[in-house]
Amino acid sequence: MNNNSLLNRFCAYVKIDTQADENSKTYPSTKGQLELGKMLVKELHEIGIKDAYQTEYGLVFGTIPNNAGRSIPTIAWVAHMDTSPETSGKNVAPHYS
C-alpha cells in the first residue's frame, strides 16, 4: 500500500458526514456512520479479511489470520467512526497536493 492510496482512502472517509447526533434514538446515531462502516467492510474484504462484517449498530469486526508461526493472543483495535456533534461533518472537501 502506497502513500497515495492511503491519502485517497482517508480523503474518501472524511467526505462522509459521520457527525454524531446526541438526540438520536438509534445506534449509530446517524446514517453516515453506517455508510462509513459499509465502506470499511468492503475494503477489509478487498485486502483479504474474509470474516469482516458490520453489526446492526454500525460496529465493524474482522480478524487478521495469525502468520507468526506460533500461538499468540488476538489483539483488538478499536476506533470511533463518528465525529463530534459540536462541529459539522457536512460538505467536507479535503485539499492536498
Q: For residues 35 and 16, what is the distance between their CA atoms, to the nearest angstrom?
A: 8
Spatial separation of the C-alpha atoms in residues 29 and 36, rounded to whole Å: 13
Q: Average pLDDT, stretch 50-69?
A: 91
Average pLDDT over residues 66-83: 86
CA dist 31 and 49 (Å) reads 24
HSE-CB for 44 with a 13 A CA cutoff: 18
- Give me the pLDDT at residue 1, please: 61
| pLDDT at res. 97 | 67
**Residue 31: pLDDT band by 50, 70, 90 thresholds?**
very high
What are the phi and psi torsion angles at 39 (to 5°)?
A: -65, -45
Separation between Cα atoms, residue 3 and residue 10, nearest integer Å: 10
Residue type, 52: A
